[in-house]
A and B are shown apart, each in its own frame.
Chain A
């Protein structure tokens, strides 16, 4: 069964550094998402992306964050200047159509640790 893959599985960075988290969505999917989960807390929506532009974003997704689909397969989340509170699991997801009925398929996440 096709799956969403994320790399790296664990990323450690120093405060103030830029990080790029990478995702390869399922190949025939058109909608892409980033969620995050701070340790012990809920899974939170960050952003959705379709047709090379952001569809929706949450309050968490401020100017420090950006997303990009640089080629036909990768979908990336960039954090420009990391803060300690950015430490979390970051999950990429994709779906073949808008979430109305189609469920999301999630990757297994990247654990980001900011020191």
Chain B
């Protein structure tokens, strides 16, 4: 699986958009980008995933660059409850392994 690079920490003002970047320059054509978050010591929570098109759901938007070497998770209106560690994971589709590899992620702090 391709490695990812994320900034270790970020701050965001409450109500503003939080933009969390992720570099995955060695991603291959059949690898998906997934985002999870972990609030305090709770279980990781799935947020969104995509292959090459931008994706949006009720939680967030995922913007993937045309060359797929990087992506950005956007929380449109961050709240205090969005304070968490955010993990960007690239994962091959299909048979090549069953596990997600969680890195160290980005610790997002939403400031009142």
- The answer on a CB contact under 8 Å between B44 and A42 is no
Contact indicator per residue, chain B 34-72, by CB within 8 Å of chain A (1) or not (0): 101010011111100100000000000000000000000
- The answer on a CB contact under 8 Å between A98 and B44 is no
Q: Which residue of chain A has the shortest Cβ distance to B49 in the bound complex?
A: A103
Q: Which residue of chain A has the shortest Cβ distance to B101 in the bound complex?
A: A45
A4 to chain B, nearest CB (A): 8
- The answer on a CB contact under 8 Å between B38 and A99 is no
For the complex, is A64 an interface residue (Cβ under 8 Å from B)?
A: no
CA distance A38 to B41 in the complex (A): 11
Contacts of B43 in A (CB 8 A): 4, 91, 93, 106-109
Q: Which residue of chain A has the shortest Cβ distance to B35 in the bound complex?
A: A103
CA distance A45 to B87 in the complex (A): 15
For the complex, is A72 an interface residue (Cβ under 8 Å from B)?
A: no
Q: How extensive is the interface on chain A, given as a class?
A: 20 to 34
* Candidate in B49, B91, B99, B102 with the most chain A CB atoms within 10 angstroms: B99
For the complex, is B74 an interface residue (Cβ under 8 Å from A)?
A: no
A99 to chain B, nearest CB (A): 5
List 16 A-B residue pairs with CB atoms under 8 Å apart, sorted by A's residue number: A31-B98, A33-B98, A35-B102, A42-B104, A43-B87, A48-B98, A56-B97, A56-B99, A99-B97, A99-B98, A99-B99, A99-B100, A100-B92, A100-B94, A105-B46, A106-B43
Q: Which 10 A-B pairs have the closest CB atoms?
A: A106-B43, A45-B99, A43-B102, A100-B93, A103-B46, A48-B98, A100-B94, A56-B98, A91-B43, A108-B43
* Chain A positions near chain B (C-beta within 8 angstroms): 4, 31, 33, 35, 37, 42-45, 48, 55-56, 58, 89, 91, 93, 98-101, 103-109, 111
